[in-house]
Structure 1
Amino acid sequence: MTSPDSPVNAPGVSRTAFTAAAARAAHLLVDAAPPLFSDPLAAPLLGARAEELLAYHRLHGTHPILAGARAEAVCRSRFTEERLLRVNSGIDQYVILGAGLDSFAYRTPPGRFRVFEVDRPATQAAKRELLDAAGIAVPASVIFVAVDFETDALRDRLVQSGLDPRRPVFVSWLGVTMYLTRAAILATLTVLGGFAPGSEIVADHLLPAELRDAAGNAYAEAVAPMAAEEGEPWHTFLSPAAMAELLRGNGFEVVEQAAQHECAGSGAWNRDDALKPSRLSHLTHARIPLSRRES
């Protein structure tokens, strides 16, 4: 049990970081094998909230909203990490924007990547306490970059933390863009587009209502009000074309775009559980061309 003055209970800690981790953890508990994505550290990182958050999935795992949350969380993580681990261009700097309770750096062998976990100070303080309480060691390759996105310059904070801007980076930006204004998304992409040629990004975004299917709209109608009540309202919905335009306008070329049903291999959705893909969100993988020349 955490104390009332614990960083986990501090104002400003992302509640959606916990619900996303709970969805990844619950996937291994309530859905059929084989899993679409395996995150065995998600449950330990929930700390004292694990029993509460996982109970919802255990008791009501077939509910479309909870199953939808699991599909959303595991699809975007699988898509991103598959592309990160197959990069062969010498990228060894991995930036996780809005890292939350992401566990990549703690369940993969250290050495290949320097991992820069970027998040708000309160959320990072909570995560560090949870890692310590769970007995999960922080590798020397992990750098926590506490950023107040309202006041701090992202590039400056990353460089100050040891990122080499002259060498390419791989950026994941998952579960974040819906909480930002379009102007804030553009500002972040402008920063990311200034990194070295060969840099790559995977970002997800929620689709506008007219591009969602019935399941996607039902999920949005149920979850958006709850997110707003928790102080994290949804602001932005983007079509795949709109996301591609934003990226191209900031120096990226689009490599791939994928819906949920395209995030796993053929036959992965022939399942005996409640997990079903929906048209709720989309993923985009892009890179800065190597042919770009710095002015």
Structure 2
Amino acid sequence: MNSADFPANAPGVSRTAFTAAAARAAHLLVDAAPVIFSDPLAERFLGERAEELLAYHRLHGEHPVLAGARAEAVCRSRFTEARLLRRNSGIDQYVILGAGLDSFAYRTPPGRFRVFEVDHPATQAAKRELLARAGVAEPPSVTFVPVDFEAEQPRERLVQCGLDPVRPVFVSWLGVTVYLTPAAIAATLRDLGGLAPGSEIVTDHLLPPELRDAAGNAYAEAVGPVVAGQGEPWHTFLSPAALATLLRDAGFEVVEQAGQQHSIAAELWQRTDALRPAALSALAHARLPHRTG
């Protein structure tokens, strides 16, 4: 098959969705214990690009940029799913904004969550073709919701696709905000602020240069121009305080914020491989309060 026909090469498909999945897959292949996050389907989801993308990690796994990509991908995934899967939350609707090649719905026993994968239509089409080629069935618990975050808001589309608007929702929004304008980020958060009380969100953001450490700045200086050259330039860097303000303005209460180092348990950083925490990005967990009176 001609490489031009491969789903990842179709116009509008997110290249960073593939590099993020490769980082999750490579963590299980090149990094030592303890495992920070296990995504056993990530390699299969890469399809015919798996060998190419994983070769970089296998051959140059200790390179700071590749190790940094793995640390970034697995820390944010562990942080998010730990909060989603906690007991007695009462939430069974899970919305993944910018789902890319996320595999949660395909490696989780069906029944607990109805999963809504929200992404650009081209990226979704590529993912569904990859699933079919890999022999991975689309479970009935998954609904694909096509949205262009710069042009439209997700909540109305989610309701049209079956989201129950009167019951709380858990939203993950990972690896996306840096590619949007500040206005688009604020508009999306305001839109999500109209979800049912008790709804929660976990999102991440890249830090501005003055809040990064040397490792974080080196990573940004190496990766930023590459993704821009692939048609996905970085637009927005936020401090934790700035993101907290955006969340509060949208009606959310901030539950916790954490940099990469404190996003996972300290013992997971006791490592013999190349993974090290960097001041590159931060995560926020927030919820919509229950109304009183």
**TM superposition score normalised by structure 1:** 0.97
CA apart distance, 1:266: 2.6
Fraction of identical pairs, as percent: 77
Give the aligned partner of residue 8 of structure 2. 8
Whether the 8 Å CA contact 1:200–1:285 is kept in 2: the answer is yes
The answer to whether structure 1 residue 141 and structure 2 residue 141 are counterparts is: yes
Give the partner amino acid of 2:14.
S
Q: How does 1:76-87 map to 2 (within 5 A)?
A: 76-86=76-86
Q: How does 1:118-267 map to 2 (within 5 A)?
A: 118-267=118-267
CA apart distance, 1:2: 6.2
Structure 1: distance between partners of 2:179 and 2:272: 33
| Deviations 1:71-107 (CA, angstroms, capped at 9, x unpaired) | 0000000000000001523111100000000000000
Structure 1: distance between partners of 2:207 and 2:148: 27
Whether the 8 Å CA contact 1:8–1:125 is kept in 2: the answer is no
Which runs of 4 or more aligned residues in structure 1 lie more than 4 Å from their structure 2 counterparts after TM superposition?
Answer: none
1:255 alignment partner, SS class: strand
Give the partner amino acid of 2:139.
P
Give the aligned partner of residue 97 of structure 1. 97
CA apart distance, 1:152: 3.5
Give the aligned partner of residue 32 of structure 1. 32
2:39 alignment partner, SS class: coil
Gaps of 5+ in 1: none
1:94 alignment partner, SS class: strand
Structure 2: distance between partners of 1:92 and 1:8: 31
Give the aligned partner of residue 60 of structure 2. 60
Structure 2: distance between partners of 1:4 and 1:67: 29
1:40 alignment partner, SS class: coil
Give the partner amino acid of 1:185.
I
CA apart distance, 1:112: 0.5
1:106 alignment partner, SS class: helix
CA apart distance, 1:262: 1.1
**TM superposition score normalised by structure 2:** 0.97
1:164 alignment partner, SS class: coil
CA apart distance, 1:153: 3.7
Alignment coverage as a number of residue pairs: 293
CA apart distance, 1:155: 1.6
Structure 2: distance between partners of 1:106 and 1:254: 30
CA apart distance, 1:5: 3.6
Q: How well do the aligned residues superpose, as a CA RMSD in angstroms?
A: 1.2
Whether the 8 Å CA contact 1:25–1:40 is kept in 2: the answer is yes
